[in-house]
Amino acid sequence: MFMSNDVYQLNSKRLRVLWSNPEVIYYIDIDNDRALPEYAPRDEFEHLMAKSELKIIEDPHINISMTFPESGSKSESIQNRAWSAIQDAISAEPDVYLKRYRGKLLTQAMDKSGATKQTIYRWFRRYWQLGMCKNTLNGQYNRCGGLGKTKKIGDKKLGAPRTRTPGDGINVDDNIKAIFRVAIEKCLLNENQYEFDYAYNQVLIAFGVPLPCKPEHLLDVPTERQFRYFYNKEYSPLEITRKRKGEINYQKDFRPVLSSSTTEVSGPGSRYQIDATIADVYLVSADDRNKVIGRPTLYFVVDVFSRAIVGMYVGLENASWVSAM
């Protein structure tokens, strides 16, 4: 209990154990950007654990500590530089966790690496808060770029410049998005199931482009690629299918299957299912084979758990509850 690198939940705080012995525990708040190591008597942690106020949880940053940078990448170079700078300091446990000793270790790291005090402290925090291993010091370029955030539109065209078609293109602002939505909802999100090209043609018509159009007509209008990007970003596949197929057909043939009958039974014999269908054959009379007496109705009873057929019945009456009994 209270091993190094364990993560605990205390009220709204998440704490990582940095170092411990039978008397004291050093820890850090992993969610505070300005956190520094703190310490508490071990019996205080044990008392909180006994009252269920302190609970051990999974490491929320395990994916960072288990992800290695690509060999030869800039991320690996940043990691090696940071590791080389703080390796000696973080190894001086528990002195590095105490303010009166940490200053001297910090100065040594600054002299060794040439980094500033703020940079060394940032490396310390990342090492302590994210998992206490070398991988926590990599470049973390996966956090760059504003993933999922809408870019602000300015005077410059967003995205890569054109290389195969003339012109610079235009940005998709709120007015263009409104036109896109009208075309999508009238052409693509209904049971008429128009093709995508038809919907894009409606956008071109809204911009006054004559059809059929020429390349010079498309210099200052949204491209089909911009229209398709907006369509895929703003409308989910489930929403599209529900609108294009209709609610009844969607529920019958296209809705996601989130469970199965076997999840509701404990074993063989827990539940049976019965179904009836009219066979695609005609029966003749046993007395006169020239007389057709009708198509038979077949009943099957299936054990839900094992899928075994446990009962079968063939009759000439229509499918009904009375016949099933």
List, for residues 26-70, the tens digit of each pLDDT value: 999 999 999 999 999 999 999 999 999 999 999 999 988 888 888
List, for residues 92-134, the tens digit of each pLDDT value: 999 999 988 999 999 999 998 899 999 999 999 999 999 999 9
List, for residues 263-286, the tens digit of each pLDDT value: 889 899 999 999 999 999 999 998
Q: Cα 312 to the chain's mean position, in Å?
A: 46
Q: Which two tokens stand for residue 175?
A: 């007015």
Specify whether the CB–CB gap between 307 and 314 falls below 8 A: no
HEC assignment per residue over 41-91? EHHHHHHHHHCCCEEEECCCCHHHHCCCCCCCCHHHHHHHHHHHHHHHHHH
| Per-chain mean pLDDT for the chain | 90
Is pLDDT above 90 for 201? yes
* CA proximity to 312, closest of 325, 295, 299: 299
Q: Residue 117: its pLDDT value, please?
A: 92
**pTM for the structure as a whole:** 0.53
Q: Three-class SS of residue 323? A: helix
Distance CA 2, CA 206 (A): 66
